[in-house]
């Protein structure tokens, strides 16, 4: 298949950036979207041009690095799919595909499709951990956890911190990411001692990092490659109200 790719090119944070069109020919329908970019980059290098900078690592839908907005949708048209797991067979011969970086105040562009997502690290550093000393790892059955709570905690823990929720949100909010991290620990027995301080501190770090406020648009859950539900934001808000009331 032959396609046209219009890619956002930006040499650095201070550059205005622009969309540049490339023809990519003889693309295998079985190639992943990142493999298609690899092929294009090989040609650019051979032609003496600057290759397109983009984030990637595991290419197995696990690490969350493959951050691209494809035809206006974070991670592309397939639901519950990361960019690295998106295949070219989901497009048609002759298609024109727009590829852009995450666009949010808290995610400044470094180069081309690469953005600085260290703001997520600041939220985690504010409370996304359990600091109580627990000694060596206990046996799996030593601390009973109700199955309902265990299932909900596991669902929240599947968040890979890719940032698609932020890119899709009209407000540039990271509430789905923050809610997933807070919910995961808040449902576990080990996370109870710091439950109140955690939600207060992490939300404050989120605001300090420059993320927008949540207005329940729901776009975050629509593009989340791991299917994190919007209901976790409601759980976060409930935990926050209880925490500030106690304070």
Residues 52 and 173 in one domain: no
Residues 88 and 126 in one domain: no
> Structural domain tally of the chain?
2
In this prediction, residue 139 carries a pLDDT of: 78
Q: Residue with structure tokens 């409930």? A: 238
| pLDDT tens track for 74-124 | 999 999 999 999 999 999 999 999 999 999 999 999 999 999 999 999 999
Average pLDDT over residues 206-214: 97
Residues 84 and 26 in one domain: yes
Residues 160 and 224 in one domain: yes
Residues 128 and 146 in one domain: yes
Q: Does the structure show a pLDDT above 70 at 198?
A: yes
Residues 220 and 145 in one domain: yes
| pLDDT tens track for 163-191 | 999 999 999 999 999 999 999 999 999 89
How would you write 102-136 as a 3-class SS string? Answer: CCECCECEEECCEECCHHHHHHHHHHCCCCCCCCC
What is the number of other CB atoms lying within 10 angstroms of the CB of residue 32?
19
Query: Which residues are bridge partners to 24 per DSSP?
Result: 3
| pLDDT tens track for 136-147 | 777 777 888 899
Residues 182 and 75 in one domain: no
In this prediction, residue 144 carries a pLDDT of: 86
What range defines the domain where residue 40 resides? 3-110
Q: Does the structure show a pLDDT above 80 at 133?
A: no
Mean pLDDT of the chain, nearest integer: 95
Residues 81 and 40 in one domain: yes
Contact 69, 101 (CB under 8 A): yes
In this prediction, residue 247 carries a pLDDT of: 65
Query: Which residues are bridge partners to 114 per DSSP?
Result: 111
| pLDDT tens track for 43-58 | 999 999 999 999 999 9
Q: What is the CATH number of the domain that holds 27?
A: 3.10.20.30
Residues 124 and 223 in one domain: yes
- Strands 96-100, 3-9: pairing kind: parallel
Average pLDDT over residues 4-12: 97
Residues 36 and 100 in one domain: yes
pTM: 0.94
Contact 184, 242 (CB under 8 A): no
Tell the burial category of 72 from Cβ atoms under 10 Å away from its Cβ (0-12, 13-18, 19+): exposed
Residues 17 and 127 in one domain: no
| pLDDT tens track for 15-29 | 999 999 999 999 999
Residues 37 and 86 in one domain: yes
């Amino acid at each position: 298949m032959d396609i046209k790719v219009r890619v956002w090119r930006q040499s650095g944070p201070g550059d205005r950036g622009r969309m540049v069109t490339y023809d990519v020919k003889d693309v295998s329908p079985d190639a992943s979207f990142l493999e298609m970019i690899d092929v294009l980059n090989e040609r650019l290098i051979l032609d003496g041009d600057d290759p397109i900078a983009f984030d990637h690592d595991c290419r197995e839908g696990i690490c969350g690095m493959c951050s691209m907005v494809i035809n206006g949708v974070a991670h592309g048209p397939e639901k519950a799919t990361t960019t690295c797991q998106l295949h070219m067979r989901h497009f048609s011969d002759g298609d024109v595909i727009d590829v852009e970086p995450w666009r949010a105040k808290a995610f400044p562009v470094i180069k081309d499709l690469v953005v600085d997502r260290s703001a997520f690290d600041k939220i985690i550093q504010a409370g996304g951990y359990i600091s109580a000393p627990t000694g060596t790892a206990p046996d799996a059955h030593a601390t009973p956890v109700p199955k309902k709570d265990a299932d909900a905690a596991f669902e929240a823990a599947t968040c890979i911190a890719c940032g698609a929720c932020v890119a899709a949100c009209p407000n540039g909010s990271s509430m789905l990411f923050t809610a997933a991290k807070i919910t995961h620990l808040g449902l576990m027995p080990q996370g109870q001692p710091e439950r109140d301080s955690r939600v207060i501190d992490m939300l404050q770090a989120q605001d300090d990092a420059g993320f927008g406020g949540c207005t329940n648009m729901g776009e975050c859950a629509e593009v989340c490659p791991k299917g994190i539900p919007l209901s976790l934001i409601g759980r976060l808000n409930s935990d926050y109200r209880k925490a500030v009331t106690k304070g």
